[in-house]
Amino acid sequence: MTSEGRFGAVITCMDGRIQTRTIDQVMTRFGVRYVDNITATGAVKNLDGAVTPTGEGLLESLNVSKEAHGTNQVALVAHAGCAGNPVPDNTQKEQLRRAKAVVAERFPEMEVMALFFDPRIGFEKIH
Ligand SMILES: [Zn+2]
């Protein structure tokens, strides 16, 4: 895979305003050539401690990315003004922290990064 470029993955909202920037950000942060783009409306709310059926679908896609593309890095992304997850930014950041723990538990060998995007600020890494 190295000669053709490594893969990373992102689990993010489907919002069209953030797709290009998100993929570009994940390529840069992980140093990967390709990013498998796994989306659902307000994705992070589906991995908020408990995993919803939609969340299971997201994790299934991540597993395909891992098995088919050798992905071992994933970014979880939420964003300000999310129509599918209309809660305050700080609540979304808490959801990101819990989602990060969920994904890390399911994929212990994978590097998991959480990012919050605000168009006025850019991408903020959530620890
Ligand atoms: Zn959204």
Tell me, yes or no, whether 23 lies in a domain: yes
Would you say residue 63 lies in a domain? yes
Question: Beta-carbon neighbour count of residue 74 at 10 Å?
Answer: 26
pLDDT band at residue 47 using 50, 70 and 90 as cut-offs: very high
The band of 107, judged by pLDDT with boundaries at 50, 70 and 90, is: very high
The predicted structure's pLDDT at residue 123: 98
pLDDT digits (tens, 9 = 90+) for 61-101: 999 999 999 999 999 999 999 999 999 999 999 999 999 99
The Å distance, Cα 126 to ligand 1 centre, comes to 17
Question: 22 CA to middle of ligand 1, Å?
Answer: 12
Could you give the number of structural domains in the chain? 1
Give the pLDDT confidence score for residue 115 in this predicted structure. 98
Q: How far is the CA of 93 from the centre of ligand 1 (A)?
A: 13
**Overall pTM surpassing 0.85 (yes/no):** yes
> Residues in the chain, how many?
127
In a domain, 18, yes or no: yes
% the chain with pLDDT above 70: 98
Range list of H helices, the chain: 19-30, 53-69, 89-106
Neighbours of ion ligand 1 (CB under 5 A): 13, 15, 82, 84
How remote is the CA of residue 110 from the centroid of ligand 1, in Å?
Answer: 24
Query: Is residue 52 scored above 80 in pLDDT?
Result: yes
How many CB atoms are located within 10 Å of the residue 127 CB?
Answer: 9
Is residue 2 assigned to a domain? no
Contact 12, 41 (CB under 8 A): no
Position 29 scores a pLDDT of 97
Structural domain for 105, as ranges: 7-126
Cα 26 to ligand 1 centroid, rounded to whole Å: 17
Q: Is residue 86 part of a domain?
A: yes
In a domain, residue 1? The reply is no
CATH number, residue 31? 3.40.1050.10
> Does some domain include residue 17?
yes
pLDDT at 97: 98
Any domain includes 44: yes
